[in-house]
């Protein structure tokens, strides 16, 4: 698939979970541009959310991807019940990687009925904006992406995120399995804020 996308003259980004060094090398040979592998939260809070792998496994995958020259897309999810310190530690970990990720998605948890995080106290909007601002300060050359959860955000919250340093969004009606604002809604918000899309 990566080779097919490359043949169309388009960039590719995939999320495939944990990778060995050999798997990363094969993806690089196929022409993969970006690999998405979020750390999700701080190492201290990680075990409260994920038990099927450990934090070092994620860091090892990022190292394998970086070693073969693939760009890294790595951020986290906030609003999972973590504290401010956990959000700070996540961003510190990203900023202390040998090379900052080219893309840093900041996701707000979208609660899904029946899952273990359904009913979690939602993160305060200004706390979310602070996470975006700190990401921008710590990783000045990264694309800080306002990602999942925008459907739950007011226009005012999104505007504050852009003012705080978010400089990218994901377009489309869905992000994996949850809703995303429609492109015409984004276009109207950008027009209201005087934001111009980057040329493709």
Dump pLDDT digits (tens) for 100-145.
999 999 999 988 888 888 888 899 999 999 999 999 999 999 999 9
Task: Tell me the pLDDT tens digit for each residue of 142-195.
Answer: 999 998 888 888 889 999 999 999 998 877 665 666 666 666 777 777 888 888
CB 73, CB 36: distance < 8 Å: yes
pLDDT for 200 beyond 70 = no
Instruction: Find out whether 12 and 31 touch, Cβ atoms under 8 Å.
Output: yes
Q: What is the pLDDT of residue 173?
A: 65
Question: Mean pLDDT in the chain?
Answer: 90
Walk me through the domains of the chain, giving residue ranges and CATH numbers.
2-191 (3.20.20.70)
Confidence (pLDDT) at 35: 96
Query: What digits encode the pLDDT tens for the residues 82-100?
Result: 999 999 999 999 999 999 9
pTM: 0.87
* Residues whose CB falls within 8 Å of the CB of residue 75, separated by 6 or more in sequence, listed in order: 38, 39, 94, 101, 103, 104, 105, 106, 107, 135, 145, 147
């Amino acid at each position: 698939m990566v080779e097919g996308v490359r043949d169309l003259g388009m960039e590719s980004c995939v999320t495939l979970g944990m990778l060995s060094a050999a798997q990363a090398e094969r993806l690089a040979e196929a022409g993969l541009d970006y690999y998405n592998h979020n750390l999700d939260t701080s190492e201290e809070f990680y075990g409260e959310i994920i038990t099927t792998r450990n934090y070092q496994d994620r860091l090892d995958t990022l190292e394998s991807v970086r070693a073969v020259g693939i760009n890294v897309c790595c951020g986290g999810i906030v609003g999972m019940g973590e504290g401010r310190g956990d959000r700070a530690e996540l961003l510190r970990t990203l900023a202390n990687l040998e090379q900052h990720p080219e893309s840093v998605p900041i996701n707000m948890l979208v609660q899904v009925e029946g899952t273990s995080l359904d009913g979690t106290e939602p993160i305060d909007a200004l706390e979310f904006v602070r996470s975006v601002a700190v990401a921008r300060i710590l990783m000045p050359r990264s694309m800080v992406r306002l990602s999942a959860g925008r459907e739950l955000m007011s226009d005012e919250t999104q505007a504050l995120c852009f003012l705080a340093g978010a400089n990218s969004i994901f377009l489309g009606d869905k992000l994996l399995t949850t809703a995303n604002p429609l492109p015409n809604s984004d276009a109207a918000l950008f027009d209201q804020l005087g934001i111009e899309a980057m040329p493709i």
